A and B are shown apart, each in its own frame.
Chain A
Amino acid sequence: MKTTQILIAGFGGQGILFAGKFLAYKGLLEDLQVSWLPSYGPEMRGGTANCNVILSDDPVGSPIITSPDVLIVMNLPSLQKYVDTVVPGGQIYVDSTLISEKVERTDVKVYYIPATQMANDAGVPTLANMVMMGHVLKNNPELTFDGTEATVQKLVPPAKAQLVELNMKALQAGRDYQ
């Protein structure tokens, strides 16, 4: 019995909700129980956005996350807001292109990924979110990288099939980052 609570946060427009959808679909295809809860409202209209994703072997209880096992942040206000909510032993993923601050906590695993820079370098500047996701998959073996392409295909409308390849490029860059 395992439940992983994942909180993704950043600015509106960074693909925070899309990244969450990616993880939710990944869980769905792996026959896990999942829930995906977006922020909605004023923050969606240009401010901060966040997204709660729960992946579990058992039916999901409350979809609202107060103490995430995994925190993924793509701007400084989000890191400051949520850093202390992560459970001891949890993981924090920081887009280090956009956040220069370091995490002071020593009871969590912190991964710094220059995702925005990497996405730019890879020619997919809007997909820093997926670079982050690639690195999350790498460090969470239960999610495995297998089946990633099938997941992306679920997310991308058929009319925009060319985006599958670009998303895969970003995900692979994140996975391969050392």
Chain B
Amino acid sequence: MAERVLMKGNEAIAEAAIRAGCRHYFGYPITPQTEIAAYMAKKMPKIGGVFLQAESEIASINMVYGAAAAGMRVMTSSSSPGISLKGEGLSYIAGSDVPAFVVNVQRGGPGLGGIQPSQSDYFQATKGGGHGDYRMIVLAPASVQEMASLTVKGFNLADKYLMTAMILADGTIGQMMEPITFEDVEVETYDKPWALTGTKMQRKHNIVNSLYLKPDELERKNFERYERYKTVEENEVMVEEYMMEDAEVCVVAFGIASRVAKNAVVQARKEGVKVGLIRPITLWPFPKKVLRQAAERVKSFVCVELNMGQMIEDVRLAIECSRPVSLCNRTGGMIPDPDQVLASIREAQKGVN
């Protein structure tokens, strides 16, 4: 077995990215994700890679766009306000169908907000952020081990589907240390015949572009892109179900909130409450089918989020409002303690009886 090492979540992302073949990092520092940049600054020059601290977030995402167009495995990382600045670039990357890997270690918002952990960029990550019809694959790690494994997964998926894969983490998972191993790194490689690598006078020019002035052409591009997105929705959903077999109450939570929720589920089970947890690992594609199937068995849902209630909308849509869904939340950098979640579970259970 590979050695267990203690690492911060942010460092795990950086190390996993390097192992996944990423040799280009462009970023701009912001708490609570700066360890990613620091790790890259230290490692990249030693392995022939590029670490570049750009003059701004906007510059860095456009450098990602450029390197991605050249067929490189490339990434950037930031935290909430920084990701807002990258929104335009993310849209261009989507419109050009090139693969990119982006990390958002969220902090409290809106505006400059605070620097403590938050999940309030759920809408931004899953519904757009930039302009236009597009999607990003959004991965929500709940442990340092998953920070690493989902990073590798993210690079693979980005290359496979020619789109952006985003890690949506938060300050807690970014800053905490847990033991991890790197034995499960499986790097997939994909041919990139579309990449701008120089024609060597042997082929026609490749063009990477997001400008389509003819509406019928742009419409066709969008239709094609959404066909690809449909494949992603069919094949790439990841979800963890915990104690759901006989559950009457279902807690839905992702990332750090799911860790707190799990403690509460264990506690509630001790009290005899039949409760389970569904943890979406991919926030897009959202595990609609698993939730819809759960709604046939459970009587009530509790959504635990570090925001004012964002994922709860997707939960309600997935189950077509067939069951009551309540919200248990803290925001602004606060984290609910297991007792608050436990109280929400008890409340939901009352509705069941």
| Residues of A in contact with B (beta carbons under 8 Å apart) | 21, 24-25, 28, 33-38, 40-42, 60-64, 66
Contact = CB atoms under 8 A, between A and B. Distances in A.
A104 B8 CA distance: 37
A62 B260 contact: yes
Given A28-B4, A40-B115, A34 B175 contact: no
A33 B171 CA distance: 21
A28 B260 contact: no
B172 A37 contact: yes
Given A28-B4, A61-B259, A62-B263, A37 B176 contact: yes
Contacts of A40: 31-32, 115, 171, 175
B31 A41 contact: yes
B329 to A, nearest CB: 15
Contacts of B339: 66
Contacts of A42: 115
Task: Identify which of B6, B256, B337 gathers the most chain A CB atoms within 10 Å of its CB.
Answer: B6
Interface string B16-33: 000000000000000110
Nearest to B115: A41
A63 B9 CA distance: 13
Given A41-B115, A63-B176, A36 B6 contact: yes
Chain B interface extent, by class: 20 to 34
Contacts of A28: 4, 6, 179
Nearest to B339: A66
B279 interface: no
A36 B335 contact: no
B177 interface: yes
A134 B164 CA distance: 49
Contacts of B338: 61-62, 66
Interface in B1-58: 4, 6, 31-32
Contact of B176 (A33, A36, A41, A61): A36
A42 B116 CA distance: 10
Nearest to A154: B6
A42 B333 CA distance: 13
Contact of A64 (B31, B115, B177, B337): B337
A64 B179 contact: no
B6 A64 contact: no
Given A34-B178, A41-B115, A42-B115, 12 more contacts: A24-B6, A34-B179, A37-B176, A37-B177, A61-B260, A61-B266, A61-B338, A62-B263, A63-B172, A63-B256, A64-B172, A66-B337
Closest 4 CB pairs of A and B: A36-B177, A61-B263, A37-B176, A62-B260
Interface in B147-182: 171-172, 175-179
B262 interface: yes
Contacts of A41: 31-32, 115-116
B179 to A, nearest CB: 5
A60 B116 contact: no
Contacts of A34: 6, 177-179
A31 to B, nearest CB: 8
B176 to A, nearest CB: 4
A35 B263 contact: no
Interface string B210-243: 0000000000000000000000000000000000
Interface in B308-353: 335, 337-339
26 contacts: A21-B6, A21-B177, A24-B6, A28-B4, A33-B179, A34-B177, A34-B178, A34-B179, A35-B176, A35-B177, A36-B6, A37-B177, A38-B176, A40-B32, A40-B171, A41-B31, A61-B259, A61-B263, A61-B266, A62-B256, A62-B262, A63-B259, A64-B260, A64-B337, A66-B337, A66-B338
A61 B264 CA distance: 10
Contacts of B256: 62-63
Nearest to B179: A28
Contacts of A25: 6
Interface string B125-144: 00000000000000000000
A63 B256 CA distance: 9
Contacts of B32: 40-41
A28 B181 CA distance: 12
